[in-house]
Amino acid sequence: MDSNTLILFIISSAVLAISPGPDNIFVLIQSVTNGAKYGIATVLGLVTGCLVHTTLVAFGVSAIIKNNDTLYLIIKIIGALYLLYLAYKVFKSDASINLSSAELPKKSVLQLYKQGFIMNVLNPKVSIFFLAFFPGFLFSTSMNTISQFYVLGVLFMIVTFIVFSSIALLAGLISNYLKKHKQTSFYLKWLQIIVFTGIAIFILFSDK
């Protein structure tokens, strides 16, 4: 087992979770508007939805990895190109973070959990991202490939839950800080670009 690969995966997952995106911004707005428990309910929905995507990727890709080295190489190349495309999209995007909660409907904890789960499960971009992200971080030559995908999926969920829950609990402080320090969004934007590009390069040169 390559523990360094797992550590790099955890660090990459944490940085991506911290970087501004529709999910953590939604958690932040819900928490600022309604309170931390509403934000955490949303987080739980988003995180448990990752199990569905992990399962799809695990069973779909593991067979390819096991039976065809050429197809696995193609998956890695496509995955790296997709991550570079995401880096380019972040580069072209507006760095500002919109925290407006105008016309945000009040929902119960259960409703927000369901909304978070549905937002995640019905977003095909999550599966595509997992497909691009996970294969380069397989960490064992002896463990079943499907099991490795689930380990990566669970680690991703744990890291995301910790980061997003921290955002929910510290929503007021984070919101005030972002409003006072507009340049922070610029630095977070470039952090995202560097991480996406770095992961793409790592995946291209990673061994099976």
List the beta strands (DSSP E) in the chain. none
DSSP state of 137: G
pLDDT in tens, 30-47: 888 888 999 999 999 999
Domain membership of residue 175 (yes or no) is yes
What secondary structure letter does DSSP report for 182? T
**Model pLDDT for residues 142-158, shown as the tens digit of each residue:** 888 899 999 999 999 99
Tokens for 187?
């630095």
pLDDT at residue number 99:
66
For residue 101, the model assigns a pLDDT of: 57
Tens digits of residue pLDDT in 103-129: 566 788 999 999 999 989 988 888 888
- The pTM assigned to this predicted structure is 0.85
* Alpha carbon distance 21, 89 (integer Å): 12
With respect to residue 134, please indicate whether it lies within any of the assigned structural domains: yes
**CA 67 – CA 51 distance, rounded (Å):** 24
Q: How many CA atoms lie within 13 A of 49 on its CB side?
A: 24
- Indicate the pLDDT class of residue 86, thresholds 50, 70 and 90: confident
Q: What pLDDT is attached to residue 153? A: 95
In a domain, residue 99? The reply is: no
What is the DSSP track for 29-69?
A: HHHHHH-HHHHHHHHHHHHHHHHHHHHHHHHHHHHHHHH-H
87-114 mean pLDDT = 78
Token pair 């630095």: residue = 187
Q: How many Cα neighbours within 13 Å face the side chain of 197? A: 11
In-domain check, residue 98: no
Query: What b/e readout covers 175-193, taking b as 16+ CB neighbours within 10 angstroms?
Result: beebeeeeebeeebbebbb
Residue 55 binned pLDDT confidence (cut-offs 50, 70, 90): very high
Instruction: Domain count for the chain, please give it.
Output: 1
Contact 83/132 with Cβ under 8 angstroms?
yes
3-state secondary structure of 27: helix
Tokens of 80: 């790296």
**Does 102 reside within a domain?**
no
What's the pLDDT tens digit per position in 173-191?
Answer: 888 887 787 788 888 888 8
Half-sphere exposure at residue 204, Cβ-oriented, CA atoms within 13 angstroms: 13
Query: Is residue 18 a part of any domain in this protein?
Result: no
> How many residues comprise the chain?
208
Domain that holds residue 137: 3-13+23-93+107-205
Residue 100 lies in a domain: no
Q: How confident is the model at residue 195 (pLDDT cuts 50, 70, 90)?
A: confident
Give a yes or no: residue 160 inside a domain: yes
pLDDT band at 192 (very low <50, low <70, confident <90, very high): confident
| Average pLDDT over the chain, rounded to an integer | 86
Q: Tokens 């061994």 — which residue? A: 207
Distances (CA, A) of 66 to 13, 16, 72: 25, 29, 9
